[in-house]
């Protein structure tokens, strides 16, 4: 499709701005004026509406397609939470209002939403308190890693290393590195969990923390998690819980009870706020009692009279990690979702998410290699290693799924599995949808055997075929230029 920049006509406008009603004709000083005007589109409102409406139709989305993208929890996003987030009483609040003298009283509604969300999340995870400030999961990880650093500094020695398993998300080591740590990677054992003997070898007084996802990215719950936590604690290291996979265990297990000291959650995964094409997300961080004092400021406090206020009184806090109190409208949607589901609803989420994953796993294990074939949690990993022998890769299968209206699983992750396909159906998908998906995957497996070239040519039904990514990175074209330049 042509770009919005290519659709206009000189002098066309898409928006009427108010007439100047102030009796003044001040000239913006020439010295500070931009010389070249920006080459922005010159289009009508209909041009814009048609353009972006048509672009929207060139995407797969949860509302249009099954989207079993592993580790991303692409569940249905309810509509009532959108309605709540659009209430002017929430959208029109300036974030600095509560920071003005006596201003807290002007934003009691928003402060209460944040406070109550923190309460919910604390109970769900078994932590003592939360900050809602981190703006994404990786931002939460960085916040957590900084809390780890502050804790150890407070105790006299910052320490040097953070341990992660090789199945971890790439953000874990990246966040640890940005917080100033060196990363030690532990391999996966034959059961799909972090190799505990290798872990013991690397665990020293220099280790500041251990970052784990539980269930891990292979969809497996590590039964030895408590032993790992005890070992880490025995050398004074902190246990960090990456909450990417919390959907599997809500109401079934709580990180705080099984030895984790810090957790981050992804509200856009577990708590059903829309992924927005890659953001905005929200990555709140919870900690145990001992670490509360290190949480970012300001925190939200409830006063004895029942009102809420910003609290800056934490002198050991890591400081400010975001301009304000987090991605408020995302927090609001997650809060509404939790209130709606309540206790039984949330437990049901975990149960059906795990049921759906196991159902698909069992139906597919005859056709694809399952590296760790035991009962999984909310997701599982297949390998296309059998198909690879015939020249068909996980990528080929992914493109075949696209041609048939299904968003592919996460592929080539975790890195510890060759030709990995990580499948997370989520709880909101029906048996019928899963059956169709399974059928399609079996079809792909058959084609891999009988007609590999069919898969190599996919996708054929999309606006474009497979795109040349090497060319994209080599001949960088990152923006449009007008012809006259």
Partner 1 sequence: MSFIPHTDIEVKQMLKTIGVSSIDDLFVDIKEDLKPKSFNLPEGKSEFEVIENLKKLSSKNATHLINFLGAGFYDHYIPAAVDALSSRSEFYTAYTPYQPECSQGWLQAIYEYQTAISELTGLDVSNASLYDGGTALYEACMMAIRITGRNKIVMDSGVNMTYRTILYTYTSNLNIEFVETSVVHGQSSREEIYKYLDDKTAAVILQNPNFFGAVDDHSDVVKKAHSFGALVIESVYPIALGILKTPGEIGCDIATGEGQSLGLPLSFGGPYLGFMATKKEYVRKMPGRIVGQTQDKDGRIGYVLTLQAREQHIRREKATSNICSNEALCALRAVIYLSLLGKDGLRDVAQLNYQKAEFTKNVFDDIPGVEVKRSSPTFNEFTVLLPRNADQVVSKMAAKGYALGFPLGRFYPGMDNYILVAVTEKRTKEEIVKFKESLEAVLCD
- In the region spanning residues 216 to 245, those forming contacts with partner 1, defined by CB under 8 A, are 220-223, 225-226
CA–CA separation, 443 and 271 (whole Å): 33
- By CB under 8 A, name the one of 127, 147, 149, 186 that touches partner 1: 149
From the CB of 234, what's the least distance to partner 1, in Å? 18
Q: How many CA atoms lie within 13 A of 42 on its CB side?
A: 9
Contact between 189 and 152 under an 8 Å Cβ cutoff? The reply is no
What part of residues 367-396 is at the interface with partner 1 (CB under 8 A)? 375, 377
- By CB under 8 A, name the one of 127, 146, 262, 421 that touches partner 1: 146
From 230-238, 268-276, 384-392, 447-455, span contacting partner 1 (CB under 8 A): 268-276
Size of the site for partner 1 (CB under 8 A): 207
Alpha-carbon dihedral sign for residues 415, 416, 417, 423: negative
* 156 lies in the binding site for partner 1 (CB under 8 A): no
Secondary element (H or E) of residue 131: strand 129-131
State which residue, 321 or 445, has the beta carbon closest to partner 1.
321
* 13 lies in the binding site for partner 1 (CB under 8 A): yes
State which residue, 191 or 449, has the beta carbon closest to partner 1.
191
From 215-223, 284-292, 298-306, 381-389, span contacting partner 1 (CB under 8 A): 215-223
Alpha-carbon dihedral sign for residues 207, 211, 217, 222: positive
Instruction: Kindly state the tokens that stand for 413.
Output: 């992750």
Dihedral pair phi/psi, residue 189, rounded to 5°? -85, -175
- By CB under 8 A, name the one of 195, 236, 345, 454 that touches partner 1: 345
In 10 A of CB 368, how many CB atoms? Answer: 25
What part of residues 283-322 is at the interface with partner 1 (CB under 8 A)? 296, 318-322
From 133-141, 235-243, 384-392, 440-448, span contacting partner 1 (CB under 8 A): 133-141
Dihedral pair phi/psi, residue 340, rounded to 5°? -65, -50
CA–CA separation, 356 and 365 (whole Å): 14
State which residue, 310 or 448, has the beta carbon closest to partner 1.
310
State which residue, 322 or 442, has the beta carbon closest to partner 1.
322
* 330 lies in the binding site for partner 1 (CB under 8 A): yes
- By CB under 8 A, name the one of 212, 238, 346, 441 that touches partner 1: 346
From the CB of 331, what's the least distance to partner 1, in Å? 9
What part of residues 401-460 is at the interface with partner 1 (CB under 8 A)? 402, 407-408, 410, 413, 427-431, 459
Q: Beta strand pairing status for 308-311 and 182-186? A: unpaired
In 10 A of CB 450, how many CB atoms? Answer: 9
**Helical spans, DSSP H, in 126-220:** 137-154, 171-178, 196-202
State which residue, 17 or 304, has the beta carbon closest to partner 1.
17
Instruction: Kindly state the tokens that stand for 395.
Output: 């990528």
What part of residues 51-90 is at the interface with partner 1 (CB under 8 A)? 51-65, 67, 69, 72, 74-78, 80, 82-84, 86-90
Tokens 């109970």 found at: 123
The neighbouring-strand residues paired with 381 are 422
Contact between 377 and 219 under an 8 Å Cβ cutoff? The reply is yes
């Amino acid at each position: 499709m042509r770009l919005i920049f290519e659709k206009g006509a000189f002098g066309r406008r898409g928006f009427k701005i108010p007439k100047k009603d102030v009796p003044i004709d001040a000239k913006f000083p020439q010295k500070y004026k931009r010389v070249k005007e920006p080459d922005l589109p010159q289009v009508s409102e209909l041009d814009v509406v048609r353009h972006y409406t048509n672009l929207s139709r060139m995407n797969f989305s949860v509302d249009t397609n099954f989207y079993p993208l592993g580790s991303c929890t692409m569940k249905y996003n309810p509509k009532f939470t959108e309605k709540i987030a659009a209430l002017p009483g929430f959208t029109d609040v300036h974030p600095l209002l509560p920071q003005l003298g006596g201003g807290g009283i002007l934003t009691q509604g928003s402060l209460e939403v944040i406070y109550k969300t923190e309460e919910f999340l604390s109970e769900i995870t078994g932590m003592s308190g939360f900050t809602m400030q981190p703006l994404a999961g990786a931002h939460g990880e960085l916040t957590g890693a900084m809390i780890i650093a502050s804790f150890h500094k407070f105790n006299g020695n910052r320490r040097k290393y953070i341990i992660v398993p090789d199945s971890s998300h790439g953000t874990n080591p990246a966040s640890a590195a940005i917080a100033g740590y060196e990363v030690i990677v532990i391999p996966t054992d034959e059961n799909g969990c972090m190799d505990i003997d290798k872990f013991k070898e690397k665990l020293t007084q220099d280790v500041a923390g251990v970052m784990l996802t539980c269930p891990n990215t292979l969809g497996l719950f590590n039964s030895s998690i408590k032993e790992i936590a005890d070992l880490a604690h025995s050398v004074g290291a902190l246990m960090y819980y990456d909450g990417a996979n919390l959907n599997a265990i809500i109401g079934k297990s709580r990180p705080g009870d099984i030895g984790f000291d810090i957790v981050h959650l992804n509200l856009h995964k577990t708590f059903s706020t829309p992924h927005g094409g890659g953001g905005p997300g929200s990555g709140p961080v919870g900690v145990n009692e001992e670490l509360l004092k290190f949480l970012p400021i300001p925190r939200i406090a409830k006063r004895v009279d029942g009102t809420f206020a910003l609290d800056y009184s934490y002198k050991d806090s890591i400081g400010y990690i975001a301009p304000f109190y987090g991605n408020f409208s995302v927090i609001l949607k997650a809060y509404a979702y939790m209130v709606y589901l309540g206790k039984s609803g949330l437990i049901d989420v975990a149960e059906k998410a795990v049921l759906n994953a196991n159902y698909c796993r069992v139906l597919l294990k005859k056709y694809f290699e399952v590296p760790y074939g035991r009962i999984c949690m909310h997701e599982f990993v297949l390998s296309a290693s059998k198909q690879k022998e015939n020249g068909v890769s996980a990528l080929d299968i992914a493109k075949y799924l696209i041609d048939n209206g299904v968003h592919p699983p996460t592929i080539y992750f975790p890195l510890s599995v060759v030709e990995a396909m990580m499948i997370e159906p989520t709880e909101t998908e029906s048996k019928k949808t899963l059956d169709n998906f399974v059928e399609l995957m079996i079809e792909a497996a058959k084609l891999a055997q009988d007609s590999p070239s069919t898969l190599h040519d996919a996708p054929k039904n999309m606006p474009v075929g497979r795109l040349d990514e090497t060319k994209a990175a080599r001949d960088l074209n990152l923006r449009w230029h007008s012809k006259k330049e």
